[in-house]
Chain A
């Protein structure tokens, strides 16, 4: 029997910019055991949310994660609105949907680039990030910030998209769709990409459900489950259908995200065409009442769950967040043992890990 070696993967590793440690035990080139050590990114945001007044928590919640920040901010506002409850104007709902999908577009482009980088396809990485800059420019134009937009406020949104901006958005989104299609065509059909992803890190439908996976990771294993199916915000009007693949390997997860990227652009274009006129925000009266509320939203990485409890003062009594990567990490312990050592970065990346989300 070959001797066993333990290799630390992280907390500082070129594949993941974030601090997580996986202690990988391997024999020759085969991985036998994986032990994740998390806690490097823990800040204590949930507790800090109790110390701040409720309108200020938007900025803190957005900084749970900088990549899906827009949806974190929106989800926080939605859950606090449910405490009163406050009814948000229809135009604000459409605007929230548009910005959510825009942030999904940039997040998926980012992930596809990182995946290409993980198996050494450097030029593909550069191409995806080149396209992503166009989406970031749109976000900067419409919200004023590239990464953390803070666009949502309790009761609506902070800014409107006027006709000139709308025209520009539609034009750029069409361009982005065309360029992404060309790149996805290469990514999905290239021989070397297939050699590194097909049949790697297989997760069956039963395992995915038993481990409680969420998001594109779950849908790649053939489960039709997406929080956007609830029809909240404008998704009910847009005729949303989740994207599902059957194989459950890294290739299927890549395909799900490729198709979701194109779908996100289509949803934005449709939302722009159906967006009603009117108010963009209502002012909340008084403090959040003593009440409890929950809200589920679909992030680029999966389902995020928000729970809020008010007590009639300007501070919340409790805020609880459950993030998608926290649900997806256990599946690594099923997928990694038995794989080859060079496949570890690709499999780890295929769940789209977001450590700052997980540890908050």
Chain B
């Protein structure tokens, strides 16, 4: 298992899911993958399929309709997995806290490992959040980062 765990830390594959955010954080997550920030140089690849992913990046507040989808996606990601809540909305509900269709932050539905606040989050902060998640994962797996 040693080599698998090492490569999990060296090259995490992320999957992005948008609950019901305003798109601001989504385009910043995408901007991370494009030439200026380019997280692929650290081995971070964006995946469309939850079964291939190690890290779930969630943006936006959970509403009554996406809660089921989010739970479903979380269940499909193989263990060990990390969840990063990107943006103030994903952390706590943010400006939408008093909207009638909003349940609140992502942690109302699935366990969250790293919170990245900001509205909209800057790409630097997202990269920082992924690094933090990897440190946590390597500690849990007992692999040196």
Binding partners A and B? yes
Which of A's residues lie within 8 Å of B, judged by CB?
11-14, 17-19, 39-45, 47-48, 51-52, 59-60, 62-67, 69, 110, 113, 125-127, 129-130, 132-133, 136, 145-148, 354, 356, 359
Complex Cα spacing A256 to B24, Å? 25
Question: With A63-B95, A129-B34 given, is the CB distance from A44 to B27 under 8 Å?
Answer: no
B100 pairs with A110, CB closer than 8 A: no
| Nearest-Cβ distance from residue B24 to partner chain A, whole angstroms | 3
Q: Could you tell me the distance between the alpha carbons of A66 and B30 in the complex, rounded to whole angstroms?
A: 13
Q: Does B132 interact with chain A (Cβ within 8 Å)? A: no
In the bound complex, do residue B24 and residue A17 qualify as a contact, i.e. CB atoms below 8 Å apart? Answer: no
Q: Are A12 and B95 in contact (CB under 8 A)?
A: no
Cβ contact within 8 Å between B23 and A66? yes
Q: Determine, out of B3-11, B58-66, B108-116, B136-144, the stretch whose residues face the partner at the interface.
A: B58-66
Give, as a whole number of angstroms, the nearest-CB distance from B13 to chain A: 13
Check A14–B65 contact: CB distance below 8 A: no
Can you list 30 contacts pairing A with B, beta carbon distance less than 8 Å? A12-B17, A12-B69, A13-B48, A17-B18, A17-B23, A17-B26, A18-B23, A19-B18, A40-B63, A40-B66, A42-B20, A43-B20, A43-B96, A43-B102, A44-B100, A47-B99, A47-B100, A48-B96, A48-B98, A66-B24, A110-B27, A127-B35, A130-B36, A133-B34, A136-B31, A145-B120, A146-B122, A147-B24, A148-B24, A356-B21
Say yes or no: B24 contacts A69, CB within 8 Å.
yes
- Cβ of A356 and Cβ of B99 under 8 Å apart? no
Nearest-neighbour CB distance to chain B for A12, whole angstroms, equals: 6
Q: Considering the chains assembled together, what is the distance between the CA atoms of A40 and B35 in angstroms?
A: 31
A19 engages B66 (CB within 8 Å): yes
The answer on a CB contact under 8 Å between B26 and A130 is no
Q: Does B119 contact A (CB under 8 A)?
A: yes
Q: For the complex, what is the distance from the CA of A66 to the CA of B65, rounded to whole Å?
A: 21
Q: B120: which A residues are within 8 A, CB to CB?
A: 66, 145-148
Docked Cα-Cα span, A130 to B34, in Å, equals: 7
Known A-B contacts A66-B23, A146-B28; A43 and B101 likewise in contact (beta carbons under 8 Å)? yes
Closest to B64 in A: A42
Q: What is the distance, in angstroms, from A312's C-beta to the closest C-beta of chain B?
A: 23
Does A66 lie within 8 Å of B31, measured CB to CB?
no
Task: State whether B20 touches A63 (Cβ < 8 A).
Answer: no
CB-based contact B95/A66 at 8 Å: no
In the bound complex, what is the Cα–Cα distance between A41 and B62 (angstroms)?
9
- Of A17, A40, A67, A129, which one neighbours B69 at CB under 8 angstroms? A40
Q: How large is the interface on B (under 10, 10 to 19, 20 to 34, 35 or more residues)?
A: 35 or more
With both chains docked as a complex, state the minimum distance between the C-beta of A178 and any C-beta of chain B, in angstroms: 18
B131 at the interface (CB under 8 A from A): no
Contact: A148 with B119, CB < 8 Å?
yes
Cβ of B73 within 8 Å of any chain A Cβ, yes or no, is yes
Chain B residues with Cβ under 8 A from A41's Cβ?
A: 20, 63
Q: Are B98 and A129 in contact (CB under 8 A)?
A: no
The CA of A129 and the CA of B98, in the complex, are separated in Å by 34
Distance from B104 Cβ to chain A, minimum over Cβ atoms (Å): 12
| B75: Cβ under 8 A from any A Cβ | no
A13-B48, A40-B65, A43-B102 given as contacts; is B20 within 8 A of A67 (CB)?
no
CA distance A65 to B21 in the complex (A): 8
Q: Which 9 A-B pairs have the closest CB atoms?
A: A66-B24, A14-B48, A129-B34, A66-B23, A147-B120, A44-B99, A63-B22, A66-B22, A147-B24
In the assembly, what is the distance between CA of A271 and CA of B33, in Å?
33
Instruction: Kindly list chain A residues whose C-beta atoms are within 8 Å of the C-beta of B34.
Output: 113, 125-126, 129-130, 132-133
In the complex, residue of chain A having the shortest beta-carbon distance to the beta carbon of B119: A148
Contact with A along B40-51 (1 / 0, CB 8 A): 000000001010
CA distance A48 to B63 in the complex (A): 14
- With both chains docked as a complex, state the minimum distance between the C-beta of A329 and any C-beta of chain B, in angstroms: 16
A12-B69, A13-B48, A42-B65 known; A356 vs B16 contact (CB < 8 Å): no
**Which of B22, B102, B119 has most A Cβ within 10 Å?**
B22
CB distance from B39 to the nearest CB of A (A): 13
Considering the chains assembled together, what is the distance between the CA atoms of A133 and B35 in angstroms?
9
B96 touches which of A12, A45, A67, A354 (Cβ 8 Å): A45
Contact A11 B26 (CB under 8 A): no
